[in-house]
Structure 1
Amino acid sequence: MSRSKLSKIENGNAAPSVTDVDCILTAIGVSDEVKAEYMAAAREAATEATAWRLIRRLGYSRKQQQVQALESQTTLLRLFQPSLIPGLLQTPEYIRAVFARRDLTEAQLERTIGARLARQNILYSEGKTFRFIITESVLRWRILPPLMMVGQLDRLISISRLPDVDIRIITLSTPQTDFPGHSFSIKDDRTVTVETVHAETVVTDPRDISLYASKFEGFSGTAVSGGEMRALIEGIRDEILREQETD
């Protein structure tokens, strides 16, 4: 642990992770009994849930700014999404459709859309890697009018060509041994953010983070990427366009 990080912890400017607590207790030589007690407390505190109603009070645009700050400090971002197009890949129209369900004023909605779009600039940063895994059902979930959904699919294809962005799709026809469950993002190997119906949960215990990392890699191995992934998206896009021609 660096001196600067230790200083921040001592002054209350940063919360220690489970690993930090372990290092500190080992360094000061506490008994096994005392160490076990403090480690149990650290692990209990390593999972923090914030209800969406509290995030709403904070403001969704401000929340986007907080996420942007965290992403700016992240070298490797891994994100699994079985429900929606990931925020970093969304078009303005898709963002509007997502947040329109949150009963925001038009001004609040515009600020939130702008804040999420500002986050997307990080995709063009050097020295960072982005890995996205999306289920095929997400691409077929029509939360937008057909032509707007076509625009969203085209954006996925375009972003997938960026050098540090890897987008993979789990097809509906691929045999699986695991279940999607819920979305989650892994920032380096430091934190996992899980979104549920009622709350956002942040996990910092290394043992729990490793479970999510293992799940991510398992899905990654069954997903299509590169040209095969783009061909799949193009096929879904063309299906939508053909439907429009026959209407």
Structure 2
Amino acid sequence: MSTRQLIPAQRAAEALGQRLREIRTGANLTGRVLASETGWHYTKISRMEHGGKTPTEEEIRIWCRICDAEDQIPDLIATVQSIQSMYQEFRRQTHYGMKRLMQVHVPLYERTSLFRIYEHNAIPGLFQTADYAAAMLSFWISFLDTPNDLEASVVARMERQRVIYQAGKHFSVLIEEQSLRTWFGTAEVQAGQLDRLLTVMSLPTVSIGIIPMMIERPCVSSTGFWIFDDEFVCLETPTANIEVTRPSEVKLYLRMFGHLASVAVYGKAARHIITSVAQELPSTK
């Protein structure tokens, strides 16, 4: 495990330990009493509370049962599950090419019914044109120094888009106006991408809101994020894919999405912003 992975995982383990300690003290139990009740050595209690040992799911259940805090079990177990997997490094995922990264979340897409998507500086991958995707992916292939499988990667990204036409799916999408003005490729590529966005807006499964620039707003999100069925959140940094599964944290992303949606415009107003941005592009003739 790299240092980049270890630091956030250790911090998460320490935060989990702090929550376990709060649960124990809230039950008016000392570490030695809890150790006696569980049959564990008291040093095991200390290691868990200080992040030196990540508890198993069964140990979480025992801890909460003895401390009369069984309502905390789902949240704590989700935390345990995410400590080792919260950071999936792009360079490891793309060791054999970018195509693999394009395919990682296909099973997740297939089993998700409601997608909530927020993007602040790019058009979401599910709605990208092949040319736009190629311009974006070519940079990441170079930046991450992965094998150059651009053509196969673009094909894989386009194949992922089939999910937006599947029955039983719904996509609630928020896009910052800045995303419409951020170019990947030429003006012609950007024009084609904006036209594609107008087309997918007409799909009955897709709701796209545009957050205008230069407006009063309640908040700003520091990064884009995707929420899958109110249960799982995925966001990306330049070097890693972060996965959030802890229910209380997922609720915060849902709250953030709601705040952002409160200032988005839809329908005719959203189309007007997109077409206005397209008209500002240099002539592609």
Work out whether the TM-score is over 0.5. Answer: yes
Structure-2 separation of matches of 1:174 and 1:137:
13
Q: CA deviation at 1:180?
A: 2.3
Label 1:61 to 1:140 Cα distance change in 2 as closer, same or farther (>3 A).
same
TM-score, normalised on structure 1? Answer: 0.81
Q: CA deviation at 1:54?
A: 1.1
Structure-2 separation of matches of 1:228 and 1:220:
14
Corresponding letter in the other structure for 2:176: T
CA displacement, residues 71-121 of structure 1 (integer Å, 9 cap, x when unaligned): 010000011110211000100011111111122555x11111001000101
5 Å matches for 1:197-236?
A: 197-236=238-277
TM-score, normalised on structure 2? Answer: 0.71
CA displacement, residues 22-52 of structure 1 (integer Å, 9 cap, x when unaligned): 9x938xx931279679975752443511121
Matched, 1:49 2:87: yes
CA displacement, residues 113-151 of structure 1 (integer Å, 9 cap, x when unaligned): 001000101111111100111110111112221111111
**Which runs of at least 4 in structure 1 moved beyond 4 Å after TM superposition?**
33-42
5 Å matches for 1:122-133?
A: 122-133=163-174
Q: Which has the higher contact order (CA 8 A, sep 6+)?
A: 1
Corresponding letter in the other structure for 2:128: Q
* Residue-pair matches, total: 221
- In structure 2, what is the equivalent of residue 83 of structure 1? 121
- In structure 1, what is the equivalent of residue 18 of structure 2? none
Matched, 1:116 2:151: no
Structure-2 separation of matches of 1:38 and 1:139:
39
Of structures 1 and 2, the larger Rg is shown by: 2
Matched, 1:196 2:237: yes
- In structure 1, what is the equivalent of residue 67 of structure 2? 32
Aligned residues of 2:127 and 2:196 also touching (Cα < 8 A): yes
Report SS of the residue matched to 1:94. Answer: helix
Label 1:58 to 1:76 Cα distance change in 2 as closer, same or farther (>3 A).
farther
Report SS of the residue matched to 1:217. Answer: helix
Matched, 1:164 2:205: yes
CA-based RMSD of the aligned residues comes to 2.7
